[in-house]
Amino acid sequence: MEKLKDALDFSDFSKTERICFIIFTIFLLVFPWLGVGSFVKTVMIQFMLFSLFGMGWNTIGGYGGQVELGKAQYVGIGAYTVALMMVWWKVPFWISMPIGILIALGYSFIIGYPLFRLKGHYFAIATICTSLVLKDIFDNWNLVGAAKGIELPIHEHPDFLYMQFKSDTYYYYFIMGLFYIAIFYMNWFRKSKLGYQLRMIKDDEDAAESLGIDIRWCKIKAYSIASAFVAVGGGFMAVYNLYIDPASVMELSLSIKIALMAMLGGAASLWGPIIGAAFLVPLDRFLGSWLGGHKGLTGIDFMIYAMLIMIVSAYQPKGIWGIIEQFRKRGR
């Protein structure tokens, strides 16, 4: 009960923030009825999906301050669990998704245990490696479709059991639901004991330990929460795209985008990942379609991302949200 109260309580935010949040919510609710084209709707769905990823990453990456660059493997775990169970055994989404979450949790504990012996750059590199290894396995594993990937059976009529719809509007409201669950969860998380302890770890590990915090265990817990979040997004990708392959759900670039969105928007803040996704998803879409038409320019998008990372870390490590807060402080 108290947890629910914390999750729904936004009273420590400024009035402006709360009003913006309400307007934003109303906007999202009516958005599909504004007569926008399907392309824009897809971008909106991507925006909420990546916000979800970014909020998950924010637990360990933002609040915990650990440079985590391997979230794609959990997108893959979520996506493959849902897809394979549906193709093999016709298991409905609402059963396969929780199983996907459990697998992601279990896997993240197993990976997290040795991973969090490492610190700093070594940790960052190791997260990339574990993700690459899993992608390699899936790329070569014939049983799960190897590099060709797997297609999900298409249902003619809207099917809530399998979460399969012809119209994007259904998916829109579904991801919106997940998006808001993530916001409420993170609103609770930032005020929880684990949230405080992680921020202490980020500030000063030695001091955190002297205050009775089992650093490694805290990091593993946060890492697992992040992984569960991301796996949900992966499950959504499976039913939404109806086709997955290792390149689309386990690529390193996906891991980097997830981390970058949260960092760009503002790590360790509730709104940061959402703001970051609002910037980067449209940019990513635009660059994708523009570069697609110009052969030889592929890779430019990553140069732009690399530049963004450098600018953010040099100018304002707290991201766009940090800049906004700076201006607000000056205004006072």
Partner 1 sequence: MAFLEVKNIVKDFGGLVANNNVSFEIEKGEIVGLIGPNGAGKTTLFNCIVGYYRPSSGKILFKGKDITGFKPFQTSREGIGRTFQIMKVTTGLTVLENVMVGAFSRTDKREVAEKEAMGIMEFLGLIDIKEYHINELPIARQRKVGLARALATKPELLMLDEVASGLNHTETDEMVGLLKMLNKEKDMTIFLIEHIMEMVMSVSKRVIVLDSGVKIAEGLPNEIVKNPDVIKAYLGEKYAKSH
| Four-point Cα dihedral 266, 267, 268, 270, nearest 10 | 50
Helix (H) and strand (E) counts in the chain: 15, 2
By beta-carbon proximity to partner 1, the closer residue of 155 and 191 is 191
Alpha helices in 141-214 (DSSP H): 168-189, 193-203, 205-210
* Contact flag: residue 316 with partner 1 (CB under 8 A): no
Among 11, 37, 210, 303, binds partner 1 (CB under 8 A): 210
* Contact flag: residue 331 with partner 1 (CB under 8 A): no
Q: What does the angle CA 48 – CA 18 – CA 170 come to, to the nearest 5 degrees? A: 30
* Contact flag: residue 84 with partner 1 (CB under 8 A): no
By beta-carbon proximity to partner 1, the closer residue of 238 and 262 is 262
Per CB under 8 A, contacts with partner 1 among 182-201 are 191-193, 196-197, 199-200
Number of residues that bind partner 1 (CB under 8 A): 23
User: From the CB of 202, what's the least distance to partner 1, in Å?
Assistant: 6
Among 9, 40, 94, 204, binds partner 1 (CB under 8 A): 204
With beta carbons less than 8 A apart as the criterion, state whether 197 and 213 touch.
Answer: yes
CA distance linking residue 209 with residue 278, whole number of Å: 37
Amino acid making up residue 301 = D
Copy the structure tokens of residue 183. Answer: 């916001």
With beta carbons less than 8 A apart as the criterion, state whether 277 and 265 touch.
Answer: yes
By beta-carbon proximity to partner 1, the closer residue of 164 and 197 is 197
* Contact flag: residue 206 with partner 1 (CB under 8 A): yes
* Contact flag: residue 102 with partner 1 (CB under 8 A): no
Q: Is the dihedral of CA 293, 297, 302, 305 positive or negative?
A: negative
By beta-carbon proximity to partner 1, the closer residue of 213 and 230 is 213
* Contact flag: residue 9 with partner 1 (CB under 8 A): no
Amino acid making up residue 229 = F
Among 203, 306, 307, 310, binds partner 1 (CB under 8 A): 203
With beta carbons less than 8 A apart as the criterion, state whether 53 and 230 touch.
Answer: yes
The residues that touch partner 1, with contacts defined as CB under 8 A, are 2, 6, 191-193, 196-197, 199-200, 202-204, 206-215, 268
